[in-house]
Structure 1
């Protein structure tokens, strides 16, 4: 078992321990309703954290993601509510704005040579101002039904039948990909791993997917005959993680990112277009922030200039807790799922135990410190 796998196993055990501990204290943490809410609440952070993982792997950082999310969300809602734009056009405008900011910040960092910490720290402040200026600080409501469904809620889920169908498809994809990888390794002359380990991994995947579907199908809103099933924010998050996980492990771009994070100078001497890859990384993260802004706006039924406030630290913490090394060069996109769930589970558990907002902020801040300490110890 690799060091990365061992670390993820430890984080999974920590998540289980947190869930059991809070359930013992409250008696309601492991209910279907609470787990459904945690999944919805974590999706926005998880979407951005999946992109932040690759940024940190490449030895960069982005402190502006929260402010960019707020600016994009307000812009899209303002175009719909105040300017009367069609929903699709407003979403494209928000994406274009996010990509423009990502391109600008990537250019300053990769081409001009300004440290990404400085560039994005300036963006954190400036973009929060932009979020206020777009709509003069006023909340901009949105009402398009299909858009609101993306944020979850009563109509924002797949239902029981759709959830089971998606679960079966996901398991088939995961198992099929295992078989493809094993056969490719054999064709390349390599020695495949123990088949029993493969069966165990496949069995755990089935247990995780079908267990999740069963729990969410068990959550029924009063007056509804069918269970809610998988919430759409969770589905979007899972798709993002699977796509980025594939990109990181099985594409040239992903190999370039890890090579740059391992040793930027060696990567440059090896002919890797470091500047271009760094700009592409910033564009990728900006697109994910725009997607997260759509989900956040749909959850709030409005765009507000306070959207995403403080989210940058939560996103970074989720990536680090999930196994991404701050030293660069190692980590996985999938690990951010565990990191994001751990943070949200702690926050939700403290809320259920009636801990005040002040103490919750203290605890979450120290969780970030503990994650960095754990990263340093594991790195040594």
Structure 2
């Protein structure tokens, strides 16, 4: 690479509730610092804090900046060097990811100001799912809609890609032999069917509303409900959409919080709303695991990642109850023992025919690796 004195890749992951960033050695892509700013506005103040933490970690030279972008729209299906046309395409895809793309764009623009002249790379959450077959990606809607880009794109691709790679390495099995159901569970959540290294289906669709019950998002919904609600309550489509994104999911069911940790604590006291929220959430994930095992003609491993998936033994237990017919048997001791220092661990009982794993989310590592790949491909 032409920037011999610069030794680090800076990876940004602006989510719906946190700004995560990490610096990686440009050659080995090993992390030298990894940090989270809770509930940020992606603004100058947040970037001031990023700068302070980088200096404290001794990171002074940066080769390039990589950004997680939730939605690439119909045009962007692989990591790309950011120029005016790529930035415009990300902006045009904002209606498909209104909680995430604006934060990514803010990060891109602030990074350009803080590190002028450095290459910036967009790494898309939708890219891993570009391999979905048409039978899984296509909605049964009018052709004009489909020509306009109405299709299933999927999200959390960086996380599901990391899960696939980690499960294969942990089990010491050829990726070509594995059928994995990957469950990314956090404030947002999705399940992905990974068949022999390729995403063949995922629970999120054109937007991040489809699929699982999430922190404040509804997940799967009868498409007739918005029309009914608009007629009954006199709401317009923007109000309905805002309610589905911000006032639904676990927040609506529990009537207390969107935070799974708080809901689990309340459920222990017998709170009926919290109990209902946990039951509905687990049921929805369990249905997708069964569906994706059927779609792949079997399942070799189920993996949990994301803030809730990797940190809540109770969540994993709730979800896997009743799946013994698929050969899935959880070892309760191993499930409880998975700790913060573990990168990945097998949690299945000895008699289980399907491996069960918890995997630490490492999306920033994927961002860094993809950024290096784009720099090499473009000769920078």
TM-score range relative to shorter protein: under 0.3
TM-score (norm 1): 0.26
TM-score (norm 2): 0.26
Higher strand residue share: 2
Name the structure, 1 or 2, with higher relative contact order (CA <8 Å, separation 6+): 1
